[in-house]
Amino acid sequence: MGRKILFITTDQMRYDAIGANGGRVARTPVIDSLAAEGISYDRAQPQNVVCMPSRATMVTGQNIGTHGVWMNGVPLPVDAPSVAAVLADSGYKTALIGKSHFEPLLDPFLRFEENRQGFTGETEGHRGFHHMELATHGAVGFTHYAKWIRDNHPETIGGFFQVLDGNLEVSDVAGGDTGAPQVKVNPIERDWYHTDWVANRTIAWLDGLEADDDWFCWMSFPDPHHPWDPPASETHRVNWRDLDLPEGYPQDAATREAIIDSKPRHWRLWYDGELVGNYEAPAKWVPATLTAEQILEVNALVHVENELIDEAIGQVLQAIAARGWADDLDVVFTTDHGEFQGDFGFLFKGPYHVDSLMRLPLIWRPAPSAGGGLDAVARVSQPVGLINLAPTFCAIAGVDVPEWMEGSPLPVDDADAQARGFERVLTEWDSRQPDGTAMHLRSITRDGMVCTTYRPGTVHDGTEGELYDLANDPLMHVNLWDDPARRSLRDELLLDLAANFVEPIEMRHAQAPV
């Protein structure tokens, strides 16, 4: 009998969301205990800061340029390799429960297998997963959770924020006490909300396994991604009026706008409502109208959602312990990308390669029975990426890492990271909006610096960029791109980026819906 693997992801969670990473509001004792018993990665980054490209990298262990999912709406090819298939071929029982998002959500003709199975209620899975029960944010789309809500609690559907209505006016996306965008009071029972549903369905799948089965379960929570509409019964946990504003939010408007103006021009264009860089943000919402009170209310609801996730993880771990699997269980916890949550005066995400969106929580708690030095508590400061997850699962299972995986197993400490060449991580962005707007970002994080170059598109001419010194400017307020004293360092980082970047094989010019 080998090691079991519980892979836990959230959606759009910041590095500082959890107590183990300095979070001071949301109570996350279960996740914090995993960090206390395992390995925390202080500079983990996605290869893209939106859902579908990031999740495609997780399941394939490949760069965006190889698997081809360069933006939301571009499906992962049906013949793409999958770590789940590798583990299944090695005798593991495999499941994905919760949010997958390897394929577009908007799919009225059921062209994609995930949506077809969600619509029919089938759970046989694909991409190497023996079992799939899928969910997204609320009772929308063709997911197993949406079908479960429709079949069992249809009266609750209207309680969720209706995020898919693209014609909403600004007044329609506002809610809560402060009129914050995509905030809504949701009267749904907590047990019916998608966080507990994901945990309950995970436990049900585990209960169906034999005691000596080896298994890999990807438990994927849709929260704390917007919209922010957790069960109203739980919002008492955090009162927004008691919170402090985020350190990354300059309260003085002139100071805030000067910081934004020091960055490439699309920052100010979005701030003023002249350009939407990512269509998941409300099209008619203007970030410059965001108030301090709205930031506080959004943050309070995010903290509530993170507490619910932590408690749901605890329920699953208790069920695993009851089966006698705890000593042989590896747990890996992370997210697909971050969220502004008020930093720089913004919400949501988009073509902005700063730590709000790029720095992720990542924890690996090796099985207590693993031994061999893997049970040492450590914090790894060297940069790693989500591209390293799939190879890590192979290593845990004792399976050779396939040649098509472009990452390597996560290091267990800084000495291991340095010995195996973990010195840089790359993040990219390519987008083509329905109005023709195109943006192309390439970033390298190395030696405590983040350097981003902008390729020519419809917004940038190829001369703009960003350069930040994380040690002296952790909030990334001072753009050093044009600093003559940093010119040689900037050019060195750009050469390193070019030498290690995997160019896309093909970029489709028509973007599909999310």
State the pLDDT confidence band at 512, using cuts at 50, 70 and 90: very low
Q: Is residue 493 part of a domain?
A: no
Secondary structure of residue 5 in the 3-state scheme = strand
Mean pLDDT of the chain: 94
Other beta carbons less than 10 A from residue 268's beta carbon: 16
224 and 309 in contact (C-beta within 8 Å)? yes
Q: What is the pLDDT of residue 511?
A: 45
- Is the confidence at residue 373, as pLDDT, over 70? no
In a domain, 399, yes or no: yes
Residues 165-203 pLDDT 10s: 555 566 667 889 999 999 999 999 999 999 999 999 999
Predicted local distance difference test score (pLDDT) of residue 436: 82
Q: What global pTM score does this model have?
A: 0.96
Contact in structure between 161 and 154 (CB atoms under 8 Å)? no
Residue at 284 is within a domain? yes
Answer yes or no: is 144 within a domain. yes
Neighbours of 172 (CB within 10 A): 14
Asked if residues 356 and 248 have their Cβ atoms less than 8 Å apart, the reply is yes
Contact 477, 470 (CB under 8 A): no
pLDDT in tens, 92-131: 999 999 999 999 988 889 999 999 999 999 999 999 999 9
**Which CATH number characterizes residue 197's domain?**
3.40.720.10
pLDDT tens, position by position, 282-315: 888 999 999 999 999 999 999 999 999 999 999 9
Picking from 138, 113, 115, the residue whose alpha carbon sits closest to that of residue 126 is 113
The pLDDT of residue 380 = 97
Task: Please report whether residue 24 resides in a domain.
Answer: yes
Each residue of 196-235: pLDDT tens digit? 999 999 999 999 999 999 999 999 999 999 999 999 999 9
3-state secondary structure of 39: strand
What pairing do the DSSP bridges indicate for beta strands 93-98 and 329-335? unpaired
Query: Tens digit of pLDDT for each residue in 424-449?
Result: 999 999 998 777 889 999 999 999 99
Distance CA 194, CA 147 (A): 12
- Match 């989500």 to its residue by tokens: 386
Q: Is residue 77 part of a domain?
A: yes
Q: State the pLDDT at residue 509.
A: 41
Statement: residue 506 has pLDDT above 60: no
* Domain contains 391: yes
What is the end-to-end Cα distance of the chain in Å, rounded? 40
Q: Which domain holds residue 106?
A: 4-421
Q: Given CA atoms 365, 368, 372, 378 in this order, what sign does their dihedral have?
A: positive
Residue 490 lies in a domain: no
**Tokens at residue 355, please?**
């730590």
Number of domains in the chain: 1
- C-alpha span between 202 and 237 (Å, rounded): 25
Confidence (pLDDT) at 375: 46
Largest CA distance in the chain: 64
356 within 8 A of 263, measured Cβ to Cβ: no
| Count of positions (residues) in the chain | 514
